[in-house]
Structure 1
């Protein structure tokens, strides 16, 4: 990585650390009732697990309410309230509400517990103590641990509108990635030349190694096209997935697509989705040199330990043979159960 890219990464790192400790909406105002969560400002968890977002009072005012709100990704014009309590009764709101509850480990604890985490739960949350003119709040980030992968239409490169991209990711057991998720994936080694939609309607692509075929002499980093028209412009997608309840396994053979489907069904499974094979590669260390059919008609294989006679691949990853003719009898099957 060149010096400028390293400087960019360092700048972002220090700005993120600095921002991490600015909890007050009014930064000149010291918190009176709430403790700043200096240790647990970011909480990490995996899909399907539970997470506790800390919020603790120093002491109780005589009359108060505590409101938990999801700040990002935000819904335009709509306050995404998760839970409100007056200290005696709680009320849950929205799609997150049924999975939300206060931890109440002690009398001053108003931490939020989210169970059975979903991909969309990733983001920032505000714990706000409402007490007339002395309202104050702290902000906690919940990061769903996962993996970002680029995804193309079966019809070829740059065929998705924003809404097509969102649907395509959902069909692959994933969601459109956020910019933060793409940035983290870039720091972990994601290098991809094709531009793709992100969840906020912007279009970007991550480059670690600048090269003529990938933007010429531009510096390494996240290259952004900014916000694009969601129905008139077409790009690929960057999808995000996390752990899944099942697992992926491989069936050997020289099968066409229909034969691969039947082989999975005989074992009480179905062809794996792209998000599922990425999840098994990242979290279950799935490692296999053999190309296999997936549910969307693509053929891929996951590599943890690159080695000789394994496609000449130098780095770990999930490799793709694209979308070959479904009548070709050349591949095995990756099944999910």
Structure 2
């Protein structure tokens, strides 16, 4: 690249873009007669876990005389992309919520790959690496997919209490985020069968059915039943939440405790009451298996089963069983605690 391309001029040119930019579309770029500078990725889907460091590859086969590379994230359900990072080949500047967690790999002079450290739940999604070179702009798309688990969630008031934004907040409060349709579909292939409809991140409402029955949408074929996109402010459903691996651990404290006593029992052990997402992640990734019902932070009582057996939940499949939301002053259960270390 010519040495006369200086960084301040680049930033002053790019600053009006702001943090969020509207994109032209999420399909493949239209073919053009000029050279193709970006090499196609070997894998378009990159798998990772929460807390890990992941690299999204973007490599130039040959560099054009002058160029910029812009990384952005396609926001699901919205016609916009969030700007992450821009580089001119020598210097890079980060934008948006990823902040210092996003950097260029710089493995060699043709390497424009993006590195994300301490991967968070909200980092999952579709990313675009765009080479800006006048009339010969190119881009490629990559999907970051986290290994995780989907769980249905409703509050103590009962089913169908959340509008879209309340469902989104409820998942965040339980150490999760609203699941995407691909995440719900994968959960269905792994055995999730749930008759209550719930919000997904894209703004649609669906529910997974493995065993078709009259009381669960009729006797059609198994699959993901859909209500389609719904009014995010007005319509009310449950939520399908997604969580991934824990950086801490979940443990059980036996006893016949009230909710307040359960909270104190965890605090005395340097921990807090586990959230619903914590318990599902411990069941999924650590194989937590107990027949004992325990209090959780939302006031529900649940227990995780990895090996189904008689007199341990009464169901033939693994999963997290629920006793619902007992009276908080009822001294009848142990507690599940979560500790960061």
TM-score by length of 2: 0.89
**Which of 222, 231, 234 pairs up with 2:233?**
231
Question: Is 2:36 the counterpart of 1:32?
Answer: yes
Look up the match of 1:315: 317
1:27 Cα deviation (Å)? 5.5
Q: Report the equivalent of 2:51.
A: 48
> Per-residue deviation at 1:30?
8.7
Q: Distance in 2 between matches of 1:173 and 1:54?
A: 29
Equivalent of 2:257, from 252, 255, 258?
255
Which residue number in structure 1 is paired with residue 23 of structure 2?
none
Q: Equivalents in 1 of 2:332, 2:272: separation in Å?
A: 19
Closer, same or farther: CA 31–148 of 1 in aligned 2, 3 Å:
farther
> How far 1:164 moved relative to its partner?
1.2
**2:77–2:201 Cα contact (<8 Å) kept:** no
Instruction: Give the match for residue 6 of structure 1.
Output: none
8 Å CA contact 1:24–1:31 kept in 2: the answer is no
How far is the alpha carbon of 1:24 from its aligned partner? 3.5
2:251 matches 1:244: no
Residue 84 (structure 1) shift: 0.7
SS of corresponding position for 1:165: helix
> Cα 1:74–1:83, aligned 2, differ >3 Å: closer, same or farther?
farther
Aligned to 1:67: 70
Tell me, yes or no, if the aligned pair for 1:67 and 1:130 is still in contact at 8 Å. Answer: yes
After TM superposition, give the deviation of residue 98 of structure 1 in Å.
2.2
- Measured in 1, the distance between the counterparts of 2:243 and 2:35 equals 37
Where does 1:241-320 land on structure 2 (aligned, <5 Å)?
241-320=243-322
Given the alignment, which residue of 207, 210, 229 partners 2:209?
A: 207
Q: Is the 8 A contact 1:23 1:138 kept in 2?
A: no
Q: Secondary structure at 1:84's aligned position in 2? A: strand
Instruction: Give how far 1:309 is off.
Output: 2.1
2:14 counterpart residue number: none
Please give the alpha-carbon distance, in whole angstroms, between the structure 2 residues aligned to 1:30 and 1:319.
59
Deviations 1:262-288 (A, max 9, x none): 111111111100000011111111111
In structure 2, do the counterparts of structure 1 residues 51 and 265 end up closer, same or farther at CA, with 3 Å as the change threshold? same
In 2, distance between residues paired with 1:225 and 1:243? Answer: 30
Q: Is the 8 A contact 1:281 1:287 kept in 2?
A: yes
Tell me the residue number matched to 2:199.
Answer: 197
Alpha-carbon distance in structure 2 between the residues aligned to 1:30 and 1:308: 67
User: Given the two structures, how large is their TM-score scaled by the length of structure 1?
Assistant: 0.90
Measure how far apart 1:203 and its partner are.
0.6
Separation of aligned partners in 1, 2:310 and 2:232: 43
**Corresponding residue for residue 130 of structure 2:** 128
**CA distance in structure 1 between the partners assigned to 2:123 and 2:173 by the alignment:** 18
- Whole-angstrom CA distance in 1 between matches of 2:198 and 2:90: 47
1:80 to 79, 82, 90: 82
SS across alignment from 1:73: coil
> Closer, same or farther in 2 for the Cα pair 1:275/1:313, shift >3 Å?
same
**RMSD of aligned residue pairs (Cα, Å):** 1.6
- 1:125–1:140 CA contact under 8 A, matched in 2: yes
CA shift digits 1:242-269 (9 cap, x unpaired): 1121110000111111111111111111
